[in-house]
Amino acid sequence: MPNRFIVGNWKMHKTISQAETLIQDILALYQPNPSVELAVAPPFVDLQAVSKLLTSTPIHLAAQNVCAKDEGAFTGEISPSMLKDLGCHYVIIGHSERRHLFGESNHMINEKIHAALHHDLHPIFCIGERLEEREAGHSLSVIQHQLQTGLAGVKTQDFHTITIAYEPVWAIGTGKAATVEEATEVHAAIRSSLSTHWNIDSTHIRILYGGSVTAENAKALFHSPHINGALVGKACLNSESFVKIAEISA
Ligand code: PEP
């Protein structure tokens, strides 16, 4: 498993034809590097088209969300097996927009983590504090709580399939990324919590930073030994900046 991992979260952007163009542009620019893994998370409706274009390429497909149920009367939801069938390897779970705009609780997120693991989908588990929580000095306790509730009941042997993304809510989409020091402090706390709470060797767990990562600030962030890569929003919608961030991370 490469130590560096760059994931592009397309959010609710790109129609099918726009998605195909973006992937073709990324593939044309990207020179695969064995030390970096790349994944893209397009909207659900684009997954099939993007999956076809990614066949036989080193870029992995991720979904932005998943239902915790296998099947049934859950209008508007997408199951883990549907995502597997489309070729998804990863799924983003607990993104702050899901938590704060769509009311996902730590308990729901925990159910989704278990459902994904059960179906061999690798979770990219997002955690992060809000601005008021940071200003009140509660960042680390919020993070600990999200970790412990979101990952409750996960078996030690499953941790190697989980990527954690620290995404401070105040840095997402604001153009105000965390400083290397701010991100490093939280990443180190996440590692120590994983070691003490689950008794695992957290050096093998990939912890990404997310929140206004650009080709300009990526180099400084990747200097931190605790930061294994990035979950990129806005900057991944442009093939050049997304590929540049991947190159910088190598
Ligand atoms: C995100 O939504 O995961 C994200 C990090 O967005 P942005 O890079 O635009 O801040």
Confidence (pTM): 0.97
DSSP for 38-98, written as a single string: EEEE--GGGHHHHHHHHTTSSPEEEES---SSSSSS-TT---HHHHHHTT--EEEES-HHH
Q: Which of 6, 102, 167 to mutate to test the pocket of ligand 1 (most atoms within 8 A of CB)?
A: 167
By CB atoms closer than 10 A (0-12, 13-18, 19+), residue 51 is middle
Q: What is the residue with the minimal CA distance to atom 8 of ligand 1?
A: 233
Question: CB–CB of 126/150 below 8 Å?
Answer: no
- 133 carries an active-site annotation: no
CA of 230, closest atom in ligand 1: 5
Q: Considering the candidates 95, 122, 187, 226, report the single residue annotated as catalytic.
A: 95
Pocket of ligand 1 (CB under 6 A): 9, 167, 172-173, 210-213, 231-235
Q: What is the residue with the minimal CA distance to atom 6 of ligand 1?
A: 233
Query: pLDDT tens-digit profile of 28-41?
Result: 999 999 999 999 99
- 111 carries an active-site annotation: no
* Mean pLDDT, range 149-155, rounded to an integer: 97
Question: CB–CB of 207/227 below 8 Å?
Answer: yes
Q: How far is CA 212 from CA 125, 159, 238, 245, in A?
A: 18, 27, 14, 12
Residue 82 identity: M
Give the Å distance between the CA of 168 and the centre of ligand 1. 10
Query: pLDDT tens-digit profile of 202-242?
Result: 888 999 999 999 999 999 999 999 999 999 999 999 999 99
* Mean pLDDT, range 99-118, rounded to an integer: 98
Question: CB–CB of 127/147 below 8 Å?
Answer: yes
Which 3 state secondary structure label does DSSP give 218? helix
